[in-house]
Amino acid sequence: MSIGFEILVRDGAARVGRLTTAHGAIDTPAFMPIGTAGTVKAMTPEGVAATGARIVLGNTYHLMLRPGAERIAALGGLHRFMNWPHAILTDSGGFQVMSLKALRTIGEAGVAFRSHLDGSRHLLTPERSIEIQHLLGADITMAFDECAPFPAERDAIEASVERTLRWAERSRAAFTPRSGHGIFGIVQGGVHADLRQRSAARLVEIGFDGYAIGGLAIGEGQATTFAMVEVDVPMLPAARPRYLMGVGKPADLVGAVKRGVDMFDCVVPTRSGRTGQAFTREGVLNLRNARHADDPSPLDPLCRCPACTGFSRAYLHHLVKAQEILASMLLTQHNLSYYADLMADLRAAITEGCLANFDLPEANS
């Protein structure tokens, strides 16, 4: 078998599920911390696991350039290389390559580009992307896709969708099925409902182990993102996991879960942790603000992370102002713990049939 996915409870469009991979099970809805270069920034693997995360995202583009997929494979694969015993999803590299703009050329074969590290030339094709992800040992492989920019002309989006669908077929054909491993297709189409429906329908015909909703959260705004999710979700098989790529802030996650999404990834919690921002049950706190300098209370009294159980807001404020590395470490672990707890609370609300009443505070300080 490939990966397994079982839906345990439903509440409206939302569902609680269990995704089973070669490296363990993940309760969904789930948030995946981003480990771009084989590490979640400012975190140890043990610290990531302590937050409750059971799957992280690795980056095909960055790992192929440094240290190299073949090198990682020779050293036992990405799990052993980064000492992460749980599941890994790897993106296809498409988004990163597309973002190079002046350094890349898109063709039917794939994308020719120059490395942002040393200017070396590379050709990333659907087949090579899948090969790299296989060498890394990813539990979940992503099909190679083209993520068009926003805004863009409809004709350009339509051409991108058709190319992505051809690449999806090649990605599926290049994938080696094996127990506990799967491949996801990626819906594209920008903010055009009919193009997204066309993309989703064709991907379902090709047949994937899960389906990602791509090409969103790149500037179109939350209302439009949610509208496109509402277009995509009914087109996708109910028995397969749905993954909204690159999302997002807590309110984005809550809204998407209510619309039937199972999986998420985003740089927001880790990047915020490195810039003095903390997500709490009171709202978002800026630890740079002077109001925290004499506050002996914990960051979030209901949080179980080391930042909240061992230190005061005053101390965390001091670390942030002093630009100490420990500030990034503690706040990143806190934010990932908050996101994991948010996912657990959403699962509980779905199980209890009260998700419609689930909301978040809006306070900022």
Domain boundary among 232, 247, 266: 266
Check whether residue 321 and residue 194 sit in a common domain.
no
Check whether residue 232 and residue 297 sit in a common domain.
no
Question: Tokens 């890394």 map to which residue?
Answer: 136
What pLDDT was estimated at residue 307? 98
Query: Would the pLDDT of 4 be above 70?
Result: yes
Query: Would the pLDDT of 102 be above 90?
Result: no
Query: Would the pLDDT of 57 be above 70?
Result: yes
Query: Would the pLDDT of 365 be above 90?
Result: no
Check whether residue 255 and residue 344 sit in a common domain.
no
Query: Would the pLDDT of 361 be above 80?
Result: no
Domain boundary among 236, 266, 296: 266
What CATH number has the domain bearing residue 114?
3.20.20.105
Please report which confidence band the pLDDT of residue 363 belongs to, taking 50, 70 and 90 as the band edges: low
Give catalytic status of residue 145 as yes or no.
no
Residues pairing with 112 in the sheet: 105, 123
Closest CA to 175 of 131, 221, 135: 131
> Would the CA dihedral through 141, 147, 150, 155 be positive or negative?
negative
What pLDDT was estimated at residue 99? 84
Residue 106 lies in a domain: yes
Residue 364 lies in a domain: no
Check whether residue 250 and residue 280 sit in a common domain.
no
Check whether residue 29 and residue 143 sit in a common domain.
yes
Give catalytic status of residue 139 as yes or no.
no
Check whether residue 252 and residue 277 sit in a common domain.
no
Residue 363 lies in a domain: no
Q: How far is CA 253 from CA 32, 92, 98, 244, in A?
A: 12, 22, 25, 9
Domain boundary among 224, 245, 266: 266
Q: Which H helix or E strand runs over 132?
A: helix 126-136
pTM: 0.97
Q: How far is CA 303 from CA 138, 197, 231, 282, 289, in A?
A: 31, 41, 36, 12, 21
Check whether residue 29 and residue 116 sit in a common domain.
yes
Q: What is the pLDDT of residues 65-86, one digit of tens each?
A: 999 999 999 999 999 999 999 9
195-212 average pLDDT score: 98
Check whether residue 88 and residue 180 sit in a common domain.
yes
Q: What is the pLDDT of residues 127-144, one digit of tens each?
A: 999 999 999 999 999 999
Residue 346 lies in a domain: yes
Question: Tokens 């539990």 map to which residue?
Answer: 139
Residue 340 lies in a domain: yes
Check whether residue 164 and residue 290 sit in a common domain.
no
Check whether residue 110 and residue 250 sit in a common domain.
yes
Containing structural domain, residue 308? 273-352
Residue 357 lies in a domain: no
Query: What is the count of structural domains for the chain?
Result: 2
Task: Give me the chain's average pLDDT, please.
Answer: 96
Query: Would the pLDDT of 364 be above 90?
Result: no
Check whether residue 259 and residue 290 sit in a common domain.
no
Residue 189 lies in a domain: yes
Check whether residue 248 and residue 279 sit in a common domain.
no
Instruction: Choose, from 91, 232, 300, 341, the residue flagged as catalytic.
Output: 91
Residue 253 lies in a domain: yes
Residue 156 near residue 163 (C-beta atoms within 8 A): no
Q: What is the pLDDT of residues 260-312, one digit of tens each?
A: 999 999 999 999 999 999 999 999 999 999 999 999 999 999 999 999 999 99
Instruction: Choose, from 11, 145, 262, 265, the residue flagged as catalytic.
Output: 265
